[in-house]
Chain A
Amino acid sequence: MIEAQQLTKRYGEKTAVDHLDFVVRPGTVTGFLGPNGAGKSTTMRMIVGLDAPTAGSVTVDGRPYARHRAPLQEVGALLEAKSIHPGRSAYQHLRALALTHGIPRRRVDEVIDLAGLGSVARKRAGAFSLGMGQRLGIAAALLGDPRTVMLDEPVNGLDPEGVLWIRTLLTSLAEEGRTVFVSSHLMSEMALVADHLIVVGRGRLLADTTVADLVRRAGGDTVTVRTQDPARLREALAGPGVDITGQVGSEELQVTGLTAREIGLAAADHGIALFELTPRTVSLEQAFMDLTRDAVEYHATTTADRTPGRAA
């Protein structure tokens, strides 16, 4: 359980985190969502005591992180990818961290296997790819068998297999009763794993809600349909409470008020071929964009083309 009360961090004139209040509960995956520069990483650094809050407080299971007897057993954190010395091997890195807490060698081997680092554990970490570095960071986070697992942008740099691995891992950690707190700037990624969402923009809390709620608030059961014959499908689906939009000449339609299942059945009844039937995703991303539009730190000329960079 992580509890932030009026948590604030200022760097000179700039307020990175602005009076945040939130609670991250055990047993579910909580997504920490916001555009780049929204204050996610700063918040996470304050949770593990690397940065001191300018005002307010944050506790883990009722105490500031540094007051715990075995901090690594309390919170396992993956912060920025490379929090390692490139000259040490993965094994040596994990072993050095384990020694501070008296964590046995056996546990070091366990997390190396868990993270799939067995074949490279004795190689210098400096030669690791971004994805391997992430896996090592996650191995370090799990080292103390922590009650709370906190990962900052864990899917960065991972290949599809790694992304899937993270999703499964997060879900199983939450099922074991742990508190799981994961940041991302990608709504689509969060929607797949998180039950609860804490959305921030420019350091302020924008929403503290569930994924389902956010969709509902965005007015969202939109289904994207691509079909051979948009005009006939429009006719087939038309009815009270159903809203269909689409561009002339495009085979793509946005349908609200009907489920994907209903649309599929209706199309089949009328013998209209469908190429795509995708519920929810677009509207969820849109809900996030709407929520954070005013809070985006770096506007590009098109909203879709957000500048990648270090999250702060």
Chain B
Amino acid sequence: MSTLTAGTETPRNAGPARPAYRVSTRGVLRSEWAKLWSLRSTWITLALGLLFLVAFGLIAATRYRSGYASGTLDRDFASSTGLELSLFGTNFAQLALGVLGVLITAGEYSTGMIRSTLAAVPRRLPVLWAKAALYGTVVLVVGTAGAFAAFQIGSGILSGTPAAMSLTHAGVLRGLFGAGLYLGLVGVIGAALGMLLRSVAGGISVLVAALMLIPGLVTLLPSSWQGDIGPYLPGNAGQAMYALTHDATTLSPGAGLGVFLGWTALALAGAAYRLVRTDV
């Protein structure tokens, strides 16, 4: 055997020709983006969230209109504005979109995918930031688009009634963008809760409790406490972000956003702590 052929026997991976791969923020973002869209549940749940947002807004507007025409509006409805009616679906959309957030993170634990994910990105935290940022942005876009669609179609239905509003009406644009932002943050909170609890069922339970059950339970407290605690709960603070009218029992839109961002940061901090500290 000549020295030339001996040279080719050196180990393949010892040579300088080895490609220089590296983990990068961009890479993790691209990976999480690909993971998000390669699951059927993403498409179905986003579509469902959008459907809830638009369809329930339309139903509310239609009911208002028919009630107004026949003169049988119930009291709750009579004082409604076009914005409120159009955004009626937010409550339902937030469930779908929040649940998808939980699935994106907790689903990795329930399937075992997390082991592959964290073996590829052993520093771990970039995975959480990428998931939260990408999904939050996707929901923000979908939610804002849905809110605008619901409002525009709703305006058509409501024209000629006292609830009729247009985009130029004071507070309407803020309300629509606020609703989109609220839904985006609900998505981030869902993802954070999924990462924190590592269980789909647990994540969904806590999410539903935080957004929908606890505000109801607070009404059982003495009324002086309600005023102190109530507005700062996640669900109520979030609603203040997109409500048109604010009174003594609610926060201003800015304060609502601040408080809701605080809750989001808290959930993310808990998720980050558990992600870094606990074995998978």
Q: Which secondary structure dominates where chain A touches chain B?
A: loop
A100 interface residue per 8 A CB criterion: yes
B22 interface residue per 8 A CB criterion: yes
A145 interface residue per 8 A CB criterion: yes
B169 interface residue per 8 A CB criterion: no
A100–B122 Cα distance when bound, in Å, is 11
Q: A40 to chain B: closest CB distance in Å?
A: 16
A211–B101 Cα distance when bound, in Å, is 51
User: Which single member of B12, B32, B40, B122 contacts A177 (CB below 8 Å)?
Assistant: B12
User: Which single member of A27, A82, A88, A97 contacts B31 (CB below 8 Å)?
Assistant: A97
B20 interface residue per 8 A CB criterion: yes
Query: B8-52, CB under 8 A of A: which get 1 and which 0?
Result: 001111100011111110011011101100111100000000000
Known A50-B280, A69-B22, A70-B21; judge A85-B39 contact (CB<8 A).
Answer: yes
Which of B27, B35, B120 gathers most chain A CB within 10 Å? Answer: B120
A171 interface residue per 8 A CB criterion: no
User: Which single member of B22, B31, B39, B279 contacts A45 (CB below 8 Å)?
Assistant: B279
List, in ascending order, chain B residues with CB within 8 A of A77's CB: 119
Q: B125 to chain A: closest CB distance in Å?
A: 11
B213 interface residue per 8 A CB criterion: no
B153 interface residue per 8 A CB criterion: no
A66–B23 Cα distance when bound, in Å, is 11
List, in ascending order, chain B residues with CB within 8 A of A80's CB: 112, 115
Q: Please provide the chain A residues from 64 to 96 with a CB less than 8 Å away from any CB of chain B in the complex.
A: 65-66, 69-73, 77, 79-80, 82-89, 92-93, 95-96
B122 contacts A48, CB within 8 Å? yes
Q: A178 to chain B: closest CB distance in Å?
A: 6
A97 contacts B116, CB within 8 Å? yes
A73–B18 Cα distance when bound, in Å, is 10
B121 interface residue per 8 A CB criterion: yes
A99 contacts B119, CB within 8 Å? no
A-B pairs, top 5 by smallest CB distance, nearest first, are A177-B11, A66-B122, A99-B31, A83-B115, A92-B38
Q: Interface on A for B, CB 8 Å cutoff? A: 26-27, 45, 48-52, 65-66, 69-73, 77, 79-80, 82-89, 92-93, 95-97, 99-103, 140, 144-145, 147, 176-178
14 A/B residue pairs, CB under 8 Å, sorted by A: A48-B119, A70-B21, A83-B119, A84-B111, A84-B112, A85-B108, A87-B40, A88-B35, A99-B31, A100-B30, A101-B120, A102-B24, A176-B11, A177-B11
A86-B111, A99-B30, A177-B14 given; name 16 further pairs at CB < 8 Å.
Answer: A49-B118, A50-B279, A72-B119, A73-B18, A77-B119, A83-B116, A85-B113, A87-B39, A97-B117, A100-B27, A101-B22, A101-B120, A103-B21, A140-B116, A145-B18, A178-B11
